[in-house]
Structure formats: structure tokens, C-alpha cells
Amino acid sequence: MKCVVTGGAGFIGSHLVERLLKNNHSVIVIDNFSTGRKSNLKKFSNKIKLFKADISKKGSWENKLKNADVVFHLAALADIVPSIQNPKAYFESNVIGTFNVLTCCRKYKVKKIIYSASSSCYGIPKKYPTSEEEKIDPQYPYALTKSMGEELVMHWSKLYNLNAVSLRFFNVYGTRSRTSGTYGAMFGVFLAQKLANKPFTVVGDGNQTRDFTYVSDVVDAIIKTWKSNVKDEIFNVGSGKTISVNKIVSILGGKKVYIPKRPGEPDCTFADMKKIRKILKWKPKINIKQGIKKILFEIDYWKKAPVWTPKNISIETKDWFKYIKD
């Protein structure tokens, strides 16, 4: 089948592309390489059609969706602090870009659309585990624009019968996660620190818990959603379990240093998995210890990643503390 993956050179996208190829599908990747990397596709670059394009702008990329059986819309800007500093770029990428993709899907009668949403839309939930019915309360422009993109997808799906599903990912980790750019996801920060023999920078007291979901499980959920007859639905995609940051550090092994707790961050992320288990019969396969073992086996991937210290984290996140309040 003809599959189009926006953001296919990124972390989750490249893993999805690899799986689709293993399943003998034809794959078109559309990516502007703002966060994605060609090296993520190197092993199978001769098997895909790759187009460098910005989906927030009109262009020749649009006709690549013609005759597509499915569009996996993963392209997005996905950092917190830069979204505070430059909300316009995030609106253009995550909202206008999504609008443009949906417009093309409607024009070319694409058979199914899978949208990658974010659990950050819940903000600081009142209930744990957190279900899809929880109030949407984004705390920063990244979360807001991903939620707005999801609203567009669900509205277009119902109004124009586009056959779309949105998946809200919880704390995805694994190989090929971003190694450059701004201060970002915890595992990338910790692995670079481990390689440099520097202490892990733990936010707050480290007792906050997260629902970490291994990337191959996320890909399983995406494929299962595509192959199902489900439409006009939103699903949480998580492990359904939580673990503290302090426990992660103890598994990784090494010294730690504590840095100030950040406003607008929940003390817990914890996906309620009842809906996806009931309707799609999906559940994750990789537990946290297995996942950490996998990334440690390929830790050299993070050799060129920036090594963050309490000082440069403080500088990088100053706008976080300036604008976001508890």
C-alpha cells in the first residue's frame, strides 16, 4: 500500500518508516529536517521516496498524497521552551501545517489519517490514570498547537468524512530520539550526561513519575490503528505504568544533581489505557527495564548530543520560569 509519513525522518517517524518497509509497503517521506535527520533513514534510504518540504507552506509536496492509502501525520515542532519564545513558528508548523495536510487528504480522498497528538494537552491532570475524557488544559504553546491540530483533524474527519484517528503519545523514548538543538527530553539529556561522565540533572526532588512508552510499542499502536476499522476516535498511547525519575537514574547508574522544579509540569503522567485496550486490543510489550537496556546498547548514538549542566539549563529555561506559573 502507498503510505505517506510526514516527519518521517524524525524519532518516531523513522521507526514507523522502517516498520512499514518491513511490511512491504511503499513509503513516501515528507520532512523539512528542522528536527528530523537524514541519518535516521540511512539504512533504508534506497527503499523510500524522500521529499524535503515544509508542510506549513504550499508546494509540490502536496501532490505526493495523491492515491495514498494512508497518511501518518507526525511532522511537528516539539519543544517547550522554543514554543514559548517563538509561538508563531509552532502555530505555523503544528496548526497551519496540519490544516494543509488535511486539505490535501480531502482533495485526494486519502483513505485514512493517523495524527500524532501529545499527552501534554492534559496539562496538569486532576485524575490519574488520565483518560481521554480529561479536561484539555495546555500549559505552553507546543501543547496548545498540538491540541489545536488534533481539533482540526477530528473536525475534518467528522465534517468531511476523512476517516481519521488521533493518538496521544505519553513520554516516548528509544533510539533515534533527538540529539541536538534545545534542552529537551529527559532520556536524551541523561544519556549524553552519562557518556560525558557528568551528573544527571534531576528536576525537582526526582520523585515525579512518568509514563514512559518505548518507541517500538508506539509504532505497534500506530499500525494497529491504521489496520482497524476505527475512525473519529482519540486514544491514549502509553505504558499504563509509571516510574519515578529517581528510579530511572538508579537504573542508568551515576551521580545526580537536583535543579529547580519547573512550573506547569505535572508531578505525574499516567495514561489510562482502558479505551485502546478495549477497542483496538493493543497493549505495550516493552517494559522500562527492557527499554533502557535497548537504549544503553546503542548509547553511542548520543555521543554528539549536547551535554547539559545546571548552569546552561538555567540559561536555556529562563523563559519557562518567566512566563509559566503554577
pLDDT for 1 equals: 95
Helix axes 11-22, 215-227, angle to 10 degrees: 60
pLDDT at 205: 96
Q: Is 275 among the domain residues? A: no
> What is the structure's pLDDT at 178?
74
Pair 193, 152 in one domain: no
Does one domain contain both 151 and 262?
Answer: no
User: Given a cut of 70, is residue 114 above it in pLDDT?
Assistant: yes
Q: Does one domain contain both 255 and 129?
A: no
How high is the pLDDT of residue 305? 87
What is the pLDDT at residue 177?
86
Residue 112 lies in a domain: yes
Q: Both 126 and 249 in a single domain?
A: no
**pLDDT confidence of residue 185:** 82
Mind listing the pLDDT tens digit for each residue in 217-251?
A: 999 999 999 999 999 999 999 999 999 999 999 99
What is the per-residue pLDDT across 21-49, written as a single tens digit (0 to 9) for each? 999 999 999 999 998 999 999 999 999 99
pLDDT in tens, 44-101: 999 999 999 999 999 999 999 999 999 999 999 999 999 999 999 999 999 999 999 9
Are 95 and 110 in a shared domain? yes
Task: Tell me the average pLDDT of the chain.
Answer: 95
Structural contact between residues 284 and 165, judged by C-beta atoms closer than 8 angstroms: no
In the chain the beta strands, taken as DSSP E runs, fall at 2-6, 26-31, 49-52, 70-73, 113-118, 164-169, 172-173, 200-203, 209-210, 213-214, 233-237, 243-244, 256-259
Which residues belong to the active site? 142
d(CA 322, CA 69): 45
Dihedral angle, C-alpha 210, 215, 220, 226, nearest 10 °: 90
Residues 229 and 244 in one domain: no
Residue 10: pLDDT over 70: yes
195 & 79 share domain = no
Q: What is the pLDDT of residue 180?
A: 62
Task: Please tell me whether residues 66 and 97 are part of one structural domain.
Answer: yes
CATH code assigned at 46: 3.40.50.720
* In a shared domain, residues 190 and 230: no
Whether residue 222 is found in the same domain as residue 124: yes
* Mean local confidence (pLDDT), 102-113: 97
Residue 141 sits in the same domain as residue 254: no
300-326 per-position pLDDT tens digit: 988 888 899 999 999 999 999 999 987
Count the domains in the chain.
2
What mean pLDDT comes out for the span 246-262? 95
DSSP-derived pairing of the beta strands 70-73 and 213-214: unpaired
Cite the DSSP H helix spans in 61-140.
Answer: 80-85, 87-91, 97-107
Give the per-residue pLDDT at 182: 61
- Domain that residue 181 falls in: 173-211+240-270+285-323
Q: Considering the domain boundaries, does residue 190 fall inside one?
A: yes
Does residue 276 sit within a domain?
Answer: no
Q: What is the pLDDT of residues 145-187, one digit of tens each?
A: 999 999 999 999 999 999 999 999 999 999 988 766 666 689 9
Tell me, what's the pLDDT at 325?
85
For residues 249 and 205, membership in a common domain is answered with yes
* Residue 3 near residue 26, CB atoms below 8 Å: yes
pLDDT in tens, 126-150: 999 999 999 999 999 999 999 999 9
